Structure formats: C-alpha cells, structure tokens
C-alpha cells in the first residue's frame, strides 16, 4: 500500500506503508539511535511526533514484551528507509510491522531518510501528516499546515497515569514520581537504588504529594511544550525547599520554569543515544540518551541561586542544573539508558545521596 509523508512546507516523501493504515498528524523529528526502536516507540515523550530513524535498516530483531518503556507506543507515525520483514532474534515475539498494526501506528518505508533528516536540520522540525488514505499531495500539505503542532499544547494529560499506584513495596527511601509520561526504566532504576516508588498523576497537588511523606520527588520526562503545564509548574514551585527534587528531561524544563526561568524551542531538537554531555565540575564527558524539542534558557535563571552542572557539546545548550542551597537538581538528558549507554546512571545515586543528607538534616533539627 502506498503512503505519503507530507510536510507543512510542501515537501513530499512517497513510500510504502507497513503497520496500520490510516492518517496521523505530528511534528516530524529524526532519531540517531542505531538500535532501540521499541524503546523509542514506547517512550511517552514522543506523543505528538512522527519519528524517522537515521539508521537505514529497522525491524531486524523484532519486538518483545520486555523492552517496552510504557504500556503502548505513543508515536504518531514511524518512518524508515528499509523495514526488515524478517525478525531474527531469540527474544523476538512478533514483527515490528505486526506490532505497529496492533497498536494503530502508521509506518512508512522506502523514503530517503537522509534527505528528510537534512531537510529537518536546515528547515527545523515541521508539522507533518502521514497517510495511506489521502494520497493527494496538495490536500495533505494543507492538512499538515492546519494541524495543531506542539507549541502551547498540554500533551501530558494524554500520557499520565489516571490514579496513584505503587511500583514496589520495599525501599529505604520513599520517592514520589510525578508522572508526566514516565519511562519504566526510571522506575526500575529507582527501585534498584533502594527506593520505594509511588507514581502519581501529573495533576496531583503539592499538598497531596506532601501527605504521602516522601523523602524525594522525581519530576519525570514527558511530551510537548513545558510552558503549557502551568499546574505541574506551580506544584513544583510549592515543593521547592520542602523535599529533595530530581528532574529528568521535561521534568528538568518544568523545574527551570518553577525556578523563574524560561524555555525555548530548539530548531530540530535532540533525539538519539549518542549525544555528548560534559559535567562542568569534573570535565568528564558522558554519551547520553536524549529526546526533547525544548530547552531551558540558562540566561533567564538567577545565577546566584542556580548553577549549570552539564552542557551539551554539540550546541552548548543547558543539559543540567542544580540549586546552590536547596537539594534540587535536574538533567535534560535521560540517565535511565533505554535505549543507550550507561554513562549517566550515577545520577540516581546522587538523588539517593541528596535524600540521605536531607533526612539527616531533618533529624538534627
């Protein structure tokens, strides 16, 4: 079946469909990971986006039930150069095409993903439509132009849990995770670091979080424009100084806004498993997993209160920050390493240390 990916600027890519048939809208982004397509598909941060993979052959190791990062795929569409119809891996339980079809995700193969990637780098991330139904180019371009995009939209309400749940029962430190689209490996790594984890909906008030008597709060990753999440930002602001806070990706951006800073949209975002980030204090460089289209503007933060801890070596954007007095820190990248390297997992240990110090401080007073 034919499929067309049409961008709002009139650029057209024709290919063949795999997965579900239909018509989906989203901002088109490219991901530079060579593997990990299943983790990418099931990352809730991709809600509202059509993902194209820069690596040419996708689907060759199939799909299994263990490598998911959430309950289902959240991407709006999936574009690849070549889809492997043969899934060859001892862990494979079904093909990628069947998995996409089962979850109503439209896929397209046979397009020139190198040209698409270069176009995004030059023109920026664009609104797009991926269709197997309407194959009229002018009609699709108009639909892409008329689609809502990401700026100003609250996409978190579509990915957050609906009620509080306990991830695990045991742990020395009680951590409340504010779920804006949390990846499962974040919860697993908290559990592995001796934390008892409670996951609460993004709309949860600060008083309700405090009533759970947490040792720490984790602000999770998630999709869309952080500036649109006024409720979560206010909750974060009210929790400052009350409990140690660790922000990841969208959580980092919301923390930046809660601290009085501003965010801005990147031209083509950071999506992939090979982004170099430098620890400003130690000089050590970590290869990190990234997935975000917005960034905190360090120049809008109070430097007397907030210090930069990490910087992106590709474009010098802010990748991490810490409050100079309060036990509050965050990173723009993903330390939970799924998919990707393990370089940044130490940050979960840093979070545990901040909770340990905070608990000791409370005992002294």
Residue closest to 270 by CA, chosen among 301, 248, 240, 249: 249
Coil/strand/helix, residue 241? coil
Phi, psi dihedral angles at 90 (to 5 degrees): -65, -20
* Chain centroid offset of residue 195 CA: 22
Q: Is 295 a catalytic residue?
A: no
List the beta strands (DSSP E) in the chain. Answer: 2-7, 12-19, 23-31, 49-53, 57-58, 77-79, 82-83, 106-109, 126-131, 165-166, 173-179, 195-201, 216-219, 245-248, 262-279, 285-297, 306-312, 318-323, 328-331
Rounded CA gap, 228 and 150, in Å? 10
* Chain centroid offset of residue 237 CA: 22
**Tokens, residue 105:** 């995700």
Q: What is the DSSP string of 50-77?
A: EEEESSSEE-TT-B-SSS-SSSS---SE
**Tokens, residue 73:** 């795929």
Coil/strand/helix, residue 237? helix
CA distances from 269 to 125, 225, 262, 290 (A): 8, 12, 17, 9
Q: Is 180 a catalytic residue?
A: no
Coil/strand/helix, residue 173? strand
Catalytic residue selected from 69, 109, 125, 336:
336
Phi, psi dihedral angles at 105 (to 5 degrees): -105, 125
Q: Is 125 a catalytic residue?
A: no
Catalytic residue selected from 249, 275, 292, 323:
249
Virtual torsion, Cα 120, 123, 127, 133, nearest 10 deg: -70
Q: Catalytic site residues?
A: 249, 334, 336
């Amino acid at each position: 079946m034919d499929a067309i990916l049409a961008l709002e600027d009139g650029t057209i890519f024709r290919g063949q469909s795999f997965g579900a048939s239909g018509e989906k809208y989203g901002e088109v982004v490219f991901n530079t990971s060579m593997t990990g397509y299943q983790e990418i598909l099931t990352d809730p941060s991709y809600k509202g986006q059509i993902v194209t993979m820069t690596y040419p052959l996708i689907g060759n190791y199939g799909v299994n039930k263990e490598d998911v990062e959430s309950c289902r795929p959240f991407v709006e569409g999936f574009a690849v150069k070549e889809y492997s119809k043969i899934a060859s891996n001892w862990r494979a339980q079904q093909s990628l095409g069947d998995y996409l079809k089962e979850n109503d995700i439209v896929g397209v193969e046979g397009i020139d993903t190198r040209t698409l990637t270069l176009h995004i780098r030059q023109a920026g991330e664009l609104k797009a439509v991926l269709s197997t139904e309407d194959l009229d180019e002018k009609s699709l371009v108009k639909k892409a132009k008329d689609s809502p995009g990401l700026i100003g939209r609250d996409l978190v309400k579509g990915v957050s849990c609906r009620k509080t749940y306990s991830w695990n029962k045991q742990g020395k430190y009680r951590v409340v995770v504010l779920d804006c689209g949390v990846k499962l490996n974040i919860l697993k790594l908290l559990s592995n670091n001796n934390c008892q984890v409670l996951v609460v909906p993004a709309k949860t008030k600060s008083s309700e979080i405090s009533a759970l008597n947490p040792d720490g709060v984790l602000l999770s990753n998630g999709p869309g424009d952080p500036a649109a999440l006024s409720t979560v930002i206010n909750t974060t602001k009210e929790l400052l100084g009350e409990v140690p806070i660790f922000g990841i990706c969208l959580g980092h951006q919301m923390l930046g806004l809660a601290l009085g800073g501003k965010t801005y949209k990147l031209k083509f975002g950071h999506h992939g498993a090979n982004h170099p980030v430098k620890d400003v204090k130690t000089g050590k460089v970590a290869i990190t997993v990234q997935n975000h289209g917005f960034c905190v503007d360090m120049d809008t933060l109070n430097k007397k209160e907030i210090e930069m801890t990490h910087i992106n070596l590709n474009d010098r954007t802010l990748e991490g920050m810490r409050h100079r007095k309060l036990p509050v820190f965050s990173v723009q990248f993903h330390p939970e390493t799924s998919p990707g390297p393990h370089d940044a997992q130490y940050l979960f240990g840093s979070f545990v240390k901040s909770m340990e110090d905070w608990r000791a401080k409370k005992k002294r007073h």
